[in-house]
Structure 1
Amino acid sequence: MKIKYIITTLFCFLYVSGVYSQTDSSEVKGLEKYWNSLVHGNVDRTFEKKLDMSFVVAPCYTREGSLGIGGAATALYRLDRKDSIMQPSDISLSGSASIKGIYAITAKGNNHFKGNKSRLSYRLQFLHKTLDFWGISYNACAVNPISEYTKRQIKWESDYVYKLTKDFHVGVAFNVNYTDLSKITDLAYLSGQEKSYFFTGIGVSLQYDTRDFILNPKRGIYFMAREILYPDFMSTYNRTIFNTTMVFDTYQEVWQGGVLTTDLYGQFYNGQTPWVLREELGSGSSRMRGYYAGRYMDCNQIVAQLELRQHIYSRIGCVAWIGGGTVFPSFKELKLKYILPNYGLGLRIEFKHNVNVRIDYGFGKDTAGFVFQFAEAF
């Protein structure tokens, strides 16, 4: 049944996106317009249009939500259409609803300002999810039977970075997170923590970035170190929380159409972190793909993955990856036996210029599942 849902989703995506992708000729009609948009929908039109946009509505399938309906609009644009060197800015809006009570709306993008000296990256999410639940620590998740909770969340994440040199950037971050549980089967799974929290975080970052295009890099290096402070007076929690994020990604062309990529990711919180901020393995659909989001949860997360991306023909490509990772309460309690495996295969379709739709099937320890998203995993 899962394969059937995915095939249906892919077919509807190809049909609907082909019909509605914008073209540069209003005189093309019917099937001719459909064919033209399929062939030329990935052409960069940002020098001709203020907003080069496409959208799609289609059935969707996720492991957490099962069958549903989803829609997305993505657009590329340039604040300075005379600058041919700077990569285009992007913005996307997506929404979905599933038969298992999961509703989500997400707006995100990367805005490159004139002069190519600064960039604003942002993500806004509204979520309502009814999910399986095992607890808020790795040890609890490893032994507890399946429970259930319904989570509602409003989340804003943003980074403004300024170029110090061609490749080095310094940035400031601002995050807001409100999460509450409207229903939970067993309160003991929260280990005495509250059902709802509000957090505001402010931070700074240092980045080294030589990627040629953020959403689908073919070459370059990306390193980011960020520290975010969640002060107690700006939240509903009685402790100040510190968060450190480290990312190191590389992209190297190994042969014609083939790009070898690596991703090292670490997210670390100080002790006594509330469940709202804790790391969920598989959450976000970029790392540990195939794991049920929240199957393993704890204060910290480390993930490493190696991915080969191969262009096949026209707008079609594929990927294969292997990696591993885990969540853990503290470094002194991090053990090799807790490292979980991850590997899988994926299909790529170029939806807009250099912007892919990805369909991944990931495997892990006693688990497997599909991921359907815009843009590359990293």
Structure 2
Amino acid sequence: MKALIIIGLLLAAHTPLWAQQPLARHGQEAGPSVSTPSAAPPSVAPVPFDTLALKPKRGLVARVLQYFAESDKPKPNKKIDFGIIGGPHYASDTGVGLGLVASALYSTDRSDSTLELSNASLYSDVTTKGFLMIGLRGNTFLPRKHYRLDYRLYVYTFPSYLWGFSYPESDNDDNKSKYSRTKFEVMARFLLPLNRYSYLGPIARYQYVHAYKLKDHAPALLGGRPLTVSDVSVGVSYTFDTRDFMLNASRGWFVQADLTANPTFLGNNDTYWSGELQVATYRRAWRGAILAGELHTRQSVGSVPWPMLSDVGSSNRMRGYYEGRYRDKNVVDAQVELRQHIWHRNGLVVWLGAAEVFPNYGSLRFRRILPNAGIGYRWQFKKGVNVRLDYGFSRNGTGFIFNINEAF
């Protein structure tokens, strides 16, 4: 009986719908179907049984693998090309960490083919030694007038170390002192186009830093400096940008100069001025290879609060140095990086860099130059957007960095 029922269902599923007998009403028999010229059958295609069968659901691992396999495929119909990925990193002072980053590419006017794509990156991090951080950065190109808005917002808190506020203090391992720090920063740069490649406009930044749980030599190193600093800066910014793609340039130049003031009438404890300059260039070296170079400097004049001093070490510059170990009023750093595409979505980079912090130009010394080198792996997460794993070497140790987009 079961076999007959199954065979009947199969025959019914493969029978054209218009040829099936109508169901009998209650108390009546079903009559044969009659086809007449005036009652032509509707054009309904046969429905095979296998299309009615439910497709098995894919497991979580399979869906994740497919997501990453297709993450770099172009999505022309999507208004926002969004993706998210996480990965590990390690540094001796912060411990093992897990970073989570998200990337978005979009256009504020899809009808304007000359408008550059806007981008946004959301990043977060947590480590075994209490480092907690979340941030957002991006560049938005507004339609019609092609105004440009650069922004950065982040907050973090973690147990940190302090060595001092000059090269002699910072280079002394005996000065290493533990304290905890919370920092909040927001920056916005609104740029108006001067021509095809140049922009000019105002810049504003707010920073809040609170230090606590001072141990070892930290109270003596601070020397009565305030533990909580609230700082507001305003100024003007100039940008010259001929890069073919800002997140992963293969050719062009990028020049950015910020001149800012921190006057007391904005609520600052002291008045000081700062100038920051970044010059970067990119060119093809050979097939699949990009040679990139950057020169960066930040100079300050006046009574600079200790958290706002220029420093060495970050995920973008002097990778491998503990961020903030070397501090002073001024810093100059440079790096050269070779980026080589290897296979499919995989690539490698190597870099060399150097930096020096100093209170004035008369204090520059060749022996105080801080060397830097490293190697990294690149995986194309999206078209033109790379996930990077960098392992940097410094005078004092090494550092492992997980991030998104190129360092510069």
TM-score, structure 1 normalization = 0.87
| C-alpha distance in 1 between matches for 2:190 and 2:384 | 23
More strand by share: 1
CA shift digits 1:282-318 (9 cap, x unpaired) = 0x31111111112211111100111111111111111
> What is the RMSD computed on CA atoms of the aligned residues?
1.9
Per the TM alignment, residue 53 of structure 1 is displaced from its structure 2 partner at its CA by 1.1
User: In the superposition, relative to structure 1, how do residues 315 and 339 fare at CA in structure 2: closer, same or farther (>3 Å)?
Assistant: same
| C-alpha distance in 2 between matches for 1:34 and 1:286 | 29
SS in 1 for 2:69: helix
| C-alpha distance in 2 between matches for 1:199 and 1:28 | 54
| C-alpha distance in 2 between matches for 1:307 and 1:65 | 26
CA shift digits 1:123-150 (9 cap, x unpaired) = 1011102112111222211234211110
CA shift digits 1:200-252 (9 cap, x unpaired) = 11110122110111111111001112101111121341x21101001110000
Q: Identity, % of aligned pairs? A: 34
Match of 2:344 in 1: 314
- Say whether 1:173 aligns with 2:191: no
Q: How many residues align?
A: 349
1:195 aligned partner, one-letter code: L
User: In the superposition, relative to structure 1, how do residues 275 and 313 fare at CA in structure 2: closer, same or farther (>3 Å)?
Assistant: same
Match of 2:233 in 1: 201
1:187 aligned partner, one-letter code: P
Match of 2:375 in 1: 345
- The correspondence for 2:221, drawn from 182, 185, 189, is 189
| C-alpha distance in 2 between matches for 1:40 and 1:230 | 47
- Say whether 1:254 aligns with 2:285: yes
User: In the superposition, relative to structure 1, how do residues 280 and 197 fare at CA in structure 2: closer, same or farther (>3 Å)?
Assistant: same
Instruction: Tell whether the 8 Å contact from 2:188 to 2:205 is kept in structure 1 after alignment.
Output: yes
User: In the superposition, relative to structure 1, how do residues 126 and 34 fare at CA in structure 2: closer, same or farther (>3 Å)?
Assistant: closer
- Say whether 1:156 aligns with 2:186: yes
TM-score, structure 2 normalization = 0.81
Instruction: Tell whether the 8 Å contact from 1:92 to 1:108 is kept in structure 2 after alignment.
Output: yes
Instruction: Tell whether the 8 Å contact from 1:63 to 1:292 is kept in structure 2 after alignment.
Output: no
Match of 1:109 in 2: 138
| C-alpha distance in 2 between matches for 1:118 and 1:63 | 42
Runs of 4+ in structure 1 off by over 6 angstroms are: none
- The correspondence for 2:254, drawn from 215, 222, 226, is 222
User: In the superposition, relative to structure 1, how do residues 266 and 34 fare at CA in structure 2: closer, same or farther (>3 Å)?
Assistant: same
User: In the superposition, relative to structure 1, how do residues 305 and 218 fare at CA in structure 2: closer, same or farther (>3 Å)?
Assistant: same
Instruction: Tell whether the 8 Å contact from 2:101 to 2:404 is kept in structure 1 after alignment.
Output: no
Radius of gyration: which is bigger? Answer: 2
Per the TM alignment, residue 35 of structure 1 is displaced from its structure 2 partner at its CA by 4.5
CA shift digits 1:125-176 (9 cap, x unpaired) = 1110211211122221123421111011110112111110111111211100
Structure 2 residue runs without a partner (length 5+): 1-55
Per the TM alignment, residue 191 of structure 1 is displaced from its structure 2 partner at its CA by 3.0
User: In the superposition, relative to structure 1, how do residues 172 and 236 fare at CA in structure 2: closer, same or farther (>3 Å)?
Assistant: closer
User: In the superposition, relative to structure 1, how do residues 285 and 69 fare at CA in structure 2: closer, same or farther (>3 Å)?
Assistant: closer
1:87 aligned partner, one-letter code: E
Structure 1 residue runs without a partner (length 5+): 1-26
